[in-house]
Amino acid sequence: MFSRIETDFSLGLMGAVIHVFFKLDCKEYLNRCWEILWGRRKPLGLNYHVCRIHCIKALMDQAKSFYKKNKSCLKLFKLAMDVYLTAEELPYAIYPIQNLFIICSSKFESEHVEEAKRNLSKPVPSSFIEGKKQ
């Protein structure tokens, strides 16, 4: 679906991208990158570039194109950006961005998308926070 993803040096964005698109945690991703650098593994099929402004604009454009008739998604996007920008710890930054990536990478409404939309309106679960602090 994507050939390139851009984020900034925010651990929240990086963690969300790694989790949603590579199905890895940060430690596994860094170990895999190390193996790629040493030629022990083939490169991943996705170019991961780091830049916050481009990522936010791309997500907003994607959300607008997929959900132009659904204003509630755009409100959720703004809510998630507020949570992300005011997060003081990594799990609080990862959670809203991870849910946004799920919404924006799904062209059609599904239970997975509905769950991600519900998650954006709720506080970050303690199980998510504890899992990311390990």
The helix (run of H) or strand (run of E) holding residue 50 is strand 47-50
As a whole number of angstroms, the distance between CA 101 and CA 118 comes to 14
CA atoms within 13 A on the CB side of 53: 0
Asked if pLDDT for residue 134 goes beyond 60, the answer is: no
Residue 121 has what pLDDT?
A: 79
Instruction: Tell me which DSSP letter residue 47 carries.
Output: E
User: What band does 21 get if pLDDT is binned at 50, 70 and 90?
Assistant: confident
pLDDT in tens, 53-71: 665 666 667 667 766 666 6
pTM, rounded to two decimals: 0.49
Q: Tokens 């703004």 belong to which residue?
A: 78
Contacts of 99 (CB under 8 A, 6+ apart): 80, 116, 117, 119, 120
Tokens representing 57 are 């604009």
As a whole number of angstroms, the distance between CA 97 and CA 13 comes to 6
